[in-house]
Amino acid sequence: MTDYKRLLDEAREARKYSYSPFSHFSVGAALLAEDGKIFRGCNLESAVFSPSLCAERVALAKALSEGVTGFTAIAIVGAENGEEPTNPCFPCGVCRQVLSEHVNLSGFEVVVEKDGRPEIHLLSELLPSAFVFEK
Ligand code: THU
């Protein structure tokens, strides 16, 4: 069974390394692979803005670039720099799409934190009618 609280704690840990001097909003993510490995990511911004990376895609890129491909869940926490997250931090539309291309859409879980407790959503619920590239 997935330890959602542990996954949120991993995301909280990842958030410590956020580089977000422009938005002043730091995000941490923890991506759980089928084999139990956890890949952490934080948002990394750039002074020219467009190369900025969301925490979720940093975690995903770390896993994929190490040959890991099966995933079951991702936990995300986010808040203003220096503040403790209070509201749930949902993945942006771009991250929802990119995640959808690497997971089993109907089973993959997105874990956010609400009132100090894990709240679980299916990616399929957050991204209905995902774009699928068909040649
Ligand atoms: N951000 C993430 O890392 N993940 C999300 O799901 C939402 C937004 C980052 C991007 C940017 O560095 C900052 O949060 C403010 O948008």
Nearest protein Cα to ligand 1, atom 9:
54
Digit-coded pLDDT (tens) for 43-58? 999 999 999 999 999 9
Report all structural domains of the chain as residue ranges with CATH numbers, in order of start: 4-126 (3.40.140.10)
Backbone angles phi, psi at 56, to 5 degrees: -65, -40
Mean pLDDT of 73-102: 97
For residue 29, give the nearest of 45, 9, 1, 49 by alpha carbon: 9
Nearest protein Cα to ligand 1, atom 13:
25
pLDDT value of position 134: 86
pLDDT value of position 97: 97
* Minimum-distance ligand 1 atom for the alpha carbon of 91: 6
Residue 135 pLDDT greater than 90, yes or no: no
- Pair 107, 74: CB distance under 8 Å: no
95 lines ligand 1 (CB under 6 A): yes
Digit-coded pLDDT (tens) for 114-127? 999 999 999 999 99
Digit-coded pLDDT (tens) for 14-52? 999 999 999 999 999 999 999 999 999 999 999 999 999
Nearest protein Cα to ligand 1, atom 6:
91
Residue 3 pLDDT greater than 90, yes or no: yes
122 lines ligand 1 (CB under 6 A): no
Annotated catalytic residue 56: yes
27 lines ligand 1 (CB under 6 A): yes
In this structure, the strands spanning 71-80 and 109-114 are: parallel
